[in-house]
Amino acid sequence: MKESLLAYNLMVTSYRIEDFFHKPGRQLKGFHIREGDTVVDYGCGPGRYIKTASGMAGPSGRVYAADISLIALEHVQNRIQQNRLTNIVPYLIENDACGIPSRCADVIYALDMFHRVGDTQAFFGELRRIIKNTGTLYLEDGHQSRTATLKKIEASPLWDIAEKKPGHVVLKPLIH
């Protein structure tokens, strides 16, 4: 979905207001990101969580920040430079795919974006391609009901629901 620069900047401004009251990235603390992990922020938007993820993964880890918007990735690039983050690699998502290496991720999180995914099977397929067999996906409901989230997950033969938490679902890849 392409957005205008004005619409995107309005969204970023609303995030900044929200982040003023609630520290961005605090929910990542429950995602079991460890030093040396490879982490994917899928649907990263302007990169609200990359600084926290970068610190958690540490200098021996890597964080891939992927989004469908070039405007978002410009914001990510600015955050990388401003915060001197050396372990962040941005990727553009095009045609439901990105260039993140296969089977590399220990942790993937997709926050506040699942409600916007058009082709959920392609989405789940791409995430399954990226994640290690031992990895974990944290999928936030976003602006949709838990029932809608679960229905979409259950339609995919690639994931198992490991845990249901308030606001997000913890998924493990099925091994075929």
pTM value? 0.88
pLDDT (mean) for 5-18: 57
Do 117 and 136 meet the contact criterion of CB atoms below 8 Å apart? no
Is residue 111 within 8 A of residue 167, CB to CB? The reply is no
pLDDT at 20: 53
Whole-Å CA distances, 1 to 42, 61, 128, 147: 15, 30, 22, 24
Express each pLDDT in 142-165 by its tens digit. 889 999 999 999 999 999 999 999
pLDDT at 65 over 60: yes
* The one-letter amino acid at 57: A
Summarised one tens digit per residue, pLDDT across range 93-135 is 999 999 999 999 999 999 989 999 999 999 999 999 999 999 9
Where does the pLDDT of residue 1 fall: very low under 50, low under 70, confident under 90, or very high at 90 and above? very low
Question: At residue 52, does pLDDT exceed 70?
Answer: yes
The fold adopted by the segment(s) 5-173 is Rossmann fold (3.40.50)
Q: Are 173 and 135 in contact (CB under 8 A)?
A: yes
End-to-end CA distance of the chain: 32
The better pLDDT of the pair 137, 8 is held by 137
* Unique residue bearing structure tokens 């992927």: 66
